[in-house]
Amino acid sequence: MSATPRLSLPFLSAGQAQKEFTHNEALQTLDFIAAAAVEEGPRSDPPASPAVGSCYIVGLSPTGAWAGKSQFVAGYSGGGWRFIAPIEGMSAYVRTSGTWANYRSGAWEIGTLRGSSLVIDGEQVVGGRNAPISSPAGGTVIDSEARTAIDAILSALRDHGLIAV
Protein backbone atom coordinates (compact mmCIF):
# COMPACT_ATOMS: atom_id res chain seq x y z
CA MET A 1 0.00 0.00 0.00
CA SER A 2 1.45 3.37 -1.01
CA ALA A 3 -1.18 5.66 0.57
CA THR A 4 -3.63 5.83 3.44
CA PRO A 5 -6.96 4.11 2.76
CA ARG A 6 -9.34 7.01 3.53
CA LEU A 7 -7.64 10.20 2.35
CA SER A 8 -4.96 8.77 0.03
CA LEU A 9 -2.18 10.53 1.91
CA PRO A 10 1.13 9.25 0.51
CA PHE A 11 3.32 6.97 2.62
CA LEU A 12 7.08 7.34 2.79
CA SER A 13 9.02 4.32 1.62
CA ALA A 14 12.45 3.03 2.65
CA GLY A 15 15.19 4.43 0.46
CA GLN A 16 12.87 6.98 -1.10
CA ALA A 17 14.66 10.02 -2.50
CA GLN A 18 13.44 13.47 -1.47
CA LYS A 19 11.03 12.20 1.18
CA GLU A 20 10.28 15.77 2.19
CA PHE A 21 8.23 16.25 -1.00
CA THR A 22 5.97 13.29 -0.22
CA HIS A 23 5.67 14.37 3.40
CA ASN A 24 4.88 17.98 2.45
CA GLU A 25 2.18 16.84 0.00
CA ALA A 26 0.48 14.93 2.82
CA LEU A 27 0.75 17.95 5.13
CA GLN A 28 -0.86 20.21 2.49
CA THR A 29 -3.84 17.85 2.24
CA LEU A 30 -4.17 17.58 6.01
CA ASP A 31 -4.01 21.37 6.33
CA PHE A 32 -7.09 21.66 4.12
CA ILE A 33 -9.24 19.00 5.78
CA ALA A 34 -8.27 18.94 9.47
CA ALA A 35 -10.81 21.31 11.07
CA ALA A 36 -12.02 22.01 7.53
CA ALA A 37 -13.59 25.35 6.67
CA VAL A 38 -14.81 26.35 3.21
CA GLU A 39 -15.38 29.91 2.08
CA GLU A 40 -18.96 29.39 0.83
CA GLY A 41 -21.44 26.78 -0.32
CA PRO A 42 -20.77 24.72 -3.45
CA ARG A 43 -19.67 26.60 -6.57
CA SER A 44 -18.83 25.28 -10.02
CA ASP A 45 -16.22 27.77 -11.14
CA PRO A 46 -12.96 28.54 -9.33
CA PRO A 47 -12.58 32.07 -7.97
CA ALA A 48 -10.44 34.41 -10.09
CA SER A 49 -7.99 35.33 -7.31
CA PRO A 50 -8.17 32.80 -4.49
CA ALA A 51 -6.16 33.37 -1.33
CA VAL A 52 -3.57 30.76 -0.43
CA GLY A 53 -5.21 28.44 2.10
CA SER A 54 -8.78 29.05 0.94
CA CYS A 55 -11.04 26.04 0.38
CA TYR A 56 -14.23 25.49 -1.57
CA ILE A 57 -16.74 22.72 -2.21
CA VAL A 58 -16.79 22.07 -5.95
CA GLY A 59 -20.32 22.16 -7.39
CA LEU A 60 -22.05 19.58 -9.57
CA SER A 61 -20.97 21.10 -12.93
CA PRO A 62 -17.38 22.24 -12.43
CA THR A 63 -15.54 24.32 -15.01
CA GLY A 64 -11.97 25.42 -15.70
CA ALA A 65 -9.33 24.12 -13.30
CA TRP A 66 -12.06 22.29 -11.40
CA ALA A 67 -13.41 20.30 -14.37
CA GLY A 68 -13.96 16.65 -13.46
CA LYS A 69 -13.78 17.31 -9.69
CA SER A 70 -17.50 17.50 -8.85
CA GLN A 71 -18.16 17.57 -5.08
CA PHE A 72 -14.45 17.49 -4.20
CA VAL A 73 -12.99 19.91 -1.68
CA ALA A 74 -10.69 22.27 -3.59
CA GLY A 75 -7.95 23.97 -1.60
CA TYR A 76 -5.67 26.63 -3.03
CA SER A 77 -1.98 26.38 -2.15
CA GLY A 78 1.19 28.07 -3.32
CA GLY A 79 1.44 25.32 -5.92
CA GLY A 80 -2.12 25.74 -7.24
CA TRP A 81 -5.32 23.79 -6.64
CA ARG A 82 -5.35 20.58 -4.62
CA PHE A 83 -8.40 18.34 -4.62
CA ILE A 84 -9.61 16.09 -1.83
CA ALA A 85 -12.26 13.50 -2.67
CA PRO A 86 -15.03 13.62 -0.06
CA ILE A 87 -15.68 10.59 2.12
CA GLU A 88 -18.85 9.67 3.99
CA GLY A 89 -19.08 11.71 7.17
CA MET A 90 -16.68 14.50 6.11
CA SER A 91 -17.68 17.89 7.53
CA ALA A 92 -16.64 21.46 6.81
CA TYR A 93 -17.65 24.77 8.35
CA VAL A 94 -19.17 27.16 5.77
CA ARG A 95 -17.79 30.59 6.65
CA THR A 96 -20.26 32.81 4.76
CA SER A 97 -23.36 31.24 6.31
CA GLY A 98 -22.00 30.03 9.65
CA THR A 99 -23.45 26.57 8.97
CA TRP A 100 -21.97 23.13 8.42
CA ALA A 101 -21.61 21.12 5.22
CA ASN A 102 -21.70 17.34 5.70
CA TYR A 103 -20.97 14.74 3.04
CA ARG A 104 -23.68 12.10 3.34
CA SER A 105 -24.96 9.45 0.95
CA GLY A 106 -22.89 10.78 -1.95
CA ALA A 107 -23.83 14.46 -1.66
CA TRP A 108 -23.10 17.57 0.41
CA GLU A 109 -25.84 18.65 2.82
CA ILE A 110 -25.52 22.32 3.75
CA GLY A 111 -27.02 23.55 7.02
CA THR A 112 -28.82 20.31 7.86
CA LEU A 113 -28.36 19.04 11.40
CA ARG A 114 -29.20 15.44 12.16
CA GLY A 115 -29.83 13.86 15.52
CA SER A 116 -32.36 12.02 17.58
CA SER A 117 -33.03 14.76 20.14
CA LEU A 118 -32.09 18.24 21.29
CA VAL A 119 -31.02 18.45 24.91
CA ILE A 120 -30.42 21.80 26.63
CA ASP A 121 -29.07 21.92 30.19
CA GLY A 122 -29.77 18.21 30.58
CA GLU A 123 -33.42 18.48 29.54
CA GLN A 124 -34.72 17.17 26.24
CA VAL A 125 -36.62 19.97 24.49
CA VAL A 126 -37.12 18.39 21.05
CA GLY A 127 -37.34 14.72 20.19
CA GLY A 128 -38.69 12.57 17.43
CA ARG A 129 -41.81 13.70 15.57
CA ASN A 130 -45.09 12.57 17.09
CA ALA A 131 -48.15 11.31 15.24
CA PRO A 132 -50.54 13.83 13.63
CA ILE A 133 -53.00 15.67 15.87
CA SER A 134 -56.42 16.36 14.46
CA SER A 135 -57.94 19.80 14.55
CA PRO A 136 -60.79 20.19 17.08
CA ALA A 137 -64.21 19.10 15.84
CA GLY A 138 -67.58 18.15 17.35
CA GLY A 139 -68.48 18.46 21.03
CA THR A 140 -71.55 19.83 22.76
CA VAL A 141 -70.15 23.34 23.30
CA ILE A 142 -68.37 24.96 20.39
CA ASP A 143 -65.94 27.78 21.16
CA SER A 144 -64.80 29.17 17.81
CA GLU A 145 -62.11 31.42 19.36
CA ALA A 146 -60.56 28.46 21.19
CA ARG A 147 -60.68 26.33 18.03
CA THR A 148 -58.99 29.12 16.04
CA ALA A 149 -56.23 29.37 18.67
CA ILE A 150 -55.74 25.60 18.81
CA ASP A 151 -55.59 25.40 14.99
CA ALA A 152 -52.94 28.15 14.95
CA ILE A 153 -50.84 26.26 17.51
CA LEU A 154 -51.17 22.99 15.58
CA SER A 155 -50.30 24.76 12.31
CA ALA A 156 -47.14 26.24 13.84
CA LEU A 157 -46.08 22.84 15.20
CA ARG A 158 -46.64 21.28 11.77
CA ASP A 159 -44.74 24.08 10.01
CA HIS A 160 -41.76 23.48 12.30
CA GLY A 161 -41.92 19.73 11.70
CA LEU A 162 -42.58 18.93 15.34
CA ILE A 163 -45.77 17.00 14.56
CA ALA A 164 -46.76 15.21 11.41
CA VAL A 165 -49.13 16.76 8.92
Q: Decide: 3 and 13 in contact? Cβ < 8 Å.
A: no
The reply to whether 70 and 130 lie within a common domain is: no
Range of the domain at 57: 19-110
Other Cβ atoms less than 10 A from the Cβ of 44: the count is 15
The reply to whether 82 and 105 lie within a common domain is: yes
Over the chain (165 residues), what is each successive 10-residue block's mean pLDDT?
Answer: 76 80 80 90 96 96 98 94 94 96 97 87 81 80 86 86 78
The reply to whether 34 and 104 lie within a common domain is: yes
Residue 4 maps to a domain: no
Residue 10 maps to a domain: no
The reply to whether 95 and 130 lie within a common domain is: no
159 phi, psi to nearest 5 deg? -60, -35
Residue 165 maps to a domain: no
How many CA atoms are closer than 13 Å to the CA of 4, on its beta-carbon side? 13
The reply to whether 103 and 132 lie within a common domain is: no
The reply to whether 38 and 98 lie within a common domain is: yes
pLDDT at site 126: 81
Residue 90 maps to a domain: yes
Residue 148 maps to a domain: yes
In angstroms and rounded to an integer, the radius of gyration of the C-alpha atoms of the chain is: 24
pLDDT at site 1: 64
What's the structural domain count of the chain? 2
